[in-house]
């Protein structure tokens, strides 16, 4: 297969749009079902997030009068595009696109794009709830990136390489364990699930940054959330699960989704100041421990 | 019917998101909506999610006889819902104004202002009946038979 066909396959099928969307919507269903079961409910039927997505795609879109039309449509599209390309960089089983030096830096940038799109969406739609949500998301981002970036940097230092393939091939050790802990601390906030569902707190600020979004643009935001979930699960698997085949890949991803769901069911939402303090104290400790282990060993 | 249209109809039937609007009700019907989304009746089995913004909703649940104070807000909420949409009138008040009929501050019934697709009678209706009403409205959405969809067909 030539380079272009491999790239097209990567973007459209696996690990890009189609495969990751199917996987991500499956994870979202599992999270909703698990949450319902833990609350003593029956939960949604299989494939519910897929039906939600199709239904939203088939609705008419209403653009708020004082929002910039171009921005309104561009934000969800760029969120989906950035996450798709982020998925492409992670060397999961079946990814035909090779790793290159420094790809982890590009990956970290692409993973931040949907967050910025959310923040801008809050401001662009001129809704007061959206603006509160955007502010909260910005503050939360300053928090969870402390352990998240430290985990990646520690792994890079440990592997002596800034390519994901190099980091995946690094031997397992204390550094891997500490970095995995720091990474896991950051995951619930990255996914905006309880106790860090602060930017999308539906009982307080209605629907967060997406409040004025509807129809297809809202569907694209939901899709980018599903893809983000897959990207985080893939990244976790590649960095911290030793020599993973396809089976270990699924097991690690499912375990991650179940853990996040259980935490979401067991906890109540924190205030934004407490969440920030949690990430700067406990996330900071995990970050310092993993960086110290990486520099010493 | 094209496969895409079939899929869209299926998705509309299986994913009814609701928005509850209170048009001057006595709270009886609103209280009965609570159990629908709690563990005993769990509307999420039908794919129902309660939304805080009318822009995310497919089905508008209206309670109350439509008072003069709530009328404009109700019309604004209905106008903000993107098509296709369905309206479910909960209880006797939106249908007949019930015990509030003849009051100078009541501007009912609901069908005077917006087209209603499903009537759920009762004072208040039981949660099972409310769920059945939502399921019926979702079916109408799926088969393109709501008043809103019929109006668009005529316009097109």
Please write the tens of the pLDDT for every residue from A77-91. Answer: 999 999 999 998 888
Contact B61, B124 (CB under 8 A): no
pLDDT at position A75: 92
Cis peptide before A182 (omega within 30 of 0): no
Q: Which domain holds residue A270?
A: 3-296
* Chain A residue numbers touching B59 (CB-CB < 8 A): none
Helix (H, G, I), strand (E, B) or coil at B14: helix
Is the Cβ pair A62, B82 closer than 8 Å? yes
CATH of B3-155, one of 3.30.70.580, 3.40.1360.10, 3.40.50.12280, 3.40.50.800: 3.40.50.12280
Backbone phi, then psi, for A216, in 5-degree steps?
Answer: -60, -45
> Could you tell me if B52 lies within 8 Å of chain A, comparing CB atoms?
yes
Q: Check A54 against B11: CB less than 8 A apart.
A: yes
Distance CA B2, CA B119 (A): 31
More confident residue, A275 or A67: A275
All structural domains of chain B with their residue ranges: 3-155
State ipTM: 0.91
Indicate the pTM of the whole model: 0.91
With a pLDDT cut of 70, the percent of chain A lying above it is: 99
pLDDT tens digit sequence for A114-134:
999 999 988 888 888 888 889
Residue A102 φ/ψ region, left for φ over 0, alpha for ψ in the -120 to 50 degree band, beta for the rest: left
Contact in structure between A82 and A110 (CB atoms under 8 Å) = yes
The count of other CB atoms within 10 Å of the CB of residue B96 is 16
Say yes or no: B80 contacts chain A, CB-CB below 8 A: yes
Please judge whether A60 and B51 are an interchain contact, meaning their C-beta atoms are less than 8 angstroms apart. Answer: no
The Cα A177–Cα B49 span in angstroms is: 39
Q: What is the band of A50 on the pLDDT scale with cuts at 50, 70, 90? A: very high
Nearest C-alpha of chain A: how many angstroms from B152? 12
Question: CA of A58: which chain B residue's CA is closest?
Answer: B8
> Is the peptide bond preceding residue B44 cis, with omega within 30 degrees of 0?
no
pLDDT of res. A296: 85
Name the minimum distance, in Å, from the CA of A35 to any CA of chain B.
Answer: 11
Query: Residue A181: which pLDDT band, with cuts at 50, 70 and 90?
Result: very high
In the block, which residue shows the tokens 């833990």? Answer: A38
What angle do helix axes A284-296 and A128-159 make, rounded to 10 degrees?
Answer: 20
Task: Provide the mean pLDDT of chain A.
Answer: 88
Residue pair B19/B51 in contact (Cβ under 8 Å)? The answer is: yes
Query: Per-residue pLDDT for A204 more than 80?
Result: no
DSSP string, B114-131: S--SEEE-SSSPPHHHHH
B82, B127, B131, B139: best mutation site toward chain A, by most A Cβ within 10 Å?
B82
pLDDT at A130: 87
Q: Is the pLDDT assigned to residue A1 strictly greater than 70?
A: no
- Give yes or no for B104 touching A (CB within 8 A): no
Q: How far apart are CA A244 and CA A248, in angstroms?
A: 5
Q: Which of A40, A54, A213 sits opposite B8 (nearest CB)?
A: A54
> Which backbone phi and psi does B18 adopt, to 5 degrees?
-110, 155
Q: Which residue has the tokens 């059945």?
A: B132
- Measured between beta carbons, the chain B residues lying within 8 angstroms of A206 are 52-53
Task: Choose the closest CB to A45 out of B39, B45, B49.
Answer: B45
Q: What is the pLDDT of residue A239?
A: 87
Residues of A with CB under 8 A from a CB of B: 32, 36, 39-45, 48, 50-55, 58-62, 202, 206-207, 211-215, 218
* Overall size of chain A counted in residues: 297
Q: Does the distance separating the beta carbons of B42 and A41 come in below 8 Å?
A: yes
pLDDT at A297: 78
Residue A142, burial from CB neighbour count under 10 angstroms (0-12, 13-18, 19+): exposed
Q: Given an 8 Å threshold on Cβ–Cβ distance, is B52 in contact with A32?
A: no
Residue A187 has pLDDT above 70, yes or no: yes
**B interface test, pick of A40, A44, A215 with most B CB neighbours within 10 Å:** A44
* Number of domains into which chain A is organized: 1
What confidence tier does A276 reach under pLDDT thresholds 50, 70, 90?
A: very high
Secondary structure class of A50 (helix, strand, coil): helix
> Is the Cβ of B56 closer than 8 Å to some Cβ of chain A?
yes
Q: pLDDT grade, residue A185 (50/70/90)?
A: very high
Conformational region of residue A289, where left means phi above 0, alpha means psi within -120 to 50, and beta covers everything else: alpha
User: What 8-state DSSP symbol labels residue A195?
Assistant: T
- Mean pLDDT is lowest, of A88-97, A264-273, B80-89, for A88-97
d(CA B154, CA A133): 41
B44·A59 Cβ contact <8 A: no
Q: Return the residue of A nearest to B9 by Cα.
A: A55
Residue A244: the pLDDT is 62
Average pLDDT over residues A164-176: 85
pLDDT in tens, A36-47: 999 889 989 998
- pLDDT beneath 50, residues of chain B: none
Q: How far is B80 from chain A (nearest CA, A)?
A: 8
Is residue B103 less than 8 Å (CB to CB) from chain A? no
DSSP B113: T
| Torsion (CA) A144, A145, A147, A153 in degrees, nearest 10 | 170
Q: In chain B, which residue's Cα lies nearest the Cα of A53?
A: B11
């Amino acid at each position: 297969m030539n380079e272009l066909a491999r790239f097209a396959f990567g973007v459209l099928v696996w690990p890009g749009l189609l495969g990751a969307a199917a996987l991500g919507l499956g994870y979202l269903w599992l999270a909703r079902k698990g949450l319902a079961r833990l609350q003593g409910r029956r939960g949604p039927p299989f494939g519910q997030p897929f039906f939600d997505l199709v239904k939203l795609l088939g609705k008419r879109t209403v653009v708020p009068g004082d929002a910039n039309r171009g921005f309104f449509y561009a934000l969800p599209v760029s969120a989906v595009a950035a996450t798709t390309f982020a998925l492409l960089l992670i060397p999961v089983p079946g990814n035909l696109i090779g790793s290159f030096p420094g790809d982890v830096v590009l990956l970290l940038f692409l993973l931040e794009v949907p967050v910025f799109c959310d923040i801008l969406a809050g401001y662009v739609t001129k809704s007061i709830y959206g603006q509160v949500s955007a502010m909260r998301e910005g503050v939360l981002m300053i928090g969870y990136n402390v352990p998240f970036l430290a985990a990646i940097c520690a792994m890079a230092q440990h592997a002596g390489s800034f390519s994901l393939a190099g980091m995946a091939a690094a031997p397992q050790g204390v550094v891997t364990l500490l970095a995995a802990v720091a990474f896991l601390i950051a995951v619930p906030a990255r996914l905006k699930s309880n106790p860090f569902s602060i930017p999308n707190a539906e009982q307080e600020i209605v629907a967060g940054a997406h409040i004025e979004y509807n129809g297809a643009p809202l569907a694209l935001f939901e899709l980018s959330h599903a893809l983000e979930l897959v990207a985080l699960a893939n990244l976790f698997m590649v960095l911290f699960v030793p020599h993973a085949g396809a089976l270990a890949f699924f097991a690690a991803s499912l375990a991650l989704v179940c853990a996040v769901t259980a935490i979401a069911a067991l906890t109540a939402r924190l205030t934004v100041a407490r969440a920030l303090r949690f990430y700067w104290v406990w996330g900071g400790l995990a970050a310092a421990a993993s960086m110290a282990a990486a520099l010493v060993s | 019917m094209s496969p895409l249209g079939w899929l869209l109809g299926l998705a509309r039937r299986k994913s009814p998101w609701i928005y509850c609007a209170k048009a001057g009700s006595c709270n009886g019907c609103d209280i009965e909506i609570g159990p629908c989304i709690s563990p005993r009746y769990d509307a999420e089995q039908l794919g129902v999610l309660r939304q805080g913004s009318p822009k995310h909703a497919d089905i508008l649940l209206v309670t109350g006889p439509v008072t003069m104070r709530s009328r404009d807000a109700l019309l604004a909420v209905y106008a903000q819902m993107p098509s296709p949409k369905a309206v479910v009138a909960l209880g006797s008040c939106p249908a007949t104004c019930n015990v509030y009929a003849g009051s100078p501050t009541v501007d009912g019934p609901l069908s005077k202002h917006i087209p209603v697709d499903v009537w759920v009678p009762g004072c208040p209706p039981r949660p099972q009946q409310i769920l059945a009403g939502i399921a019926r409205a979702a079916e109408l959405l799926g088969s393109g038979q709501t008043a809103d969809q019929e109006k668009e067909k005529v316009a097109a």
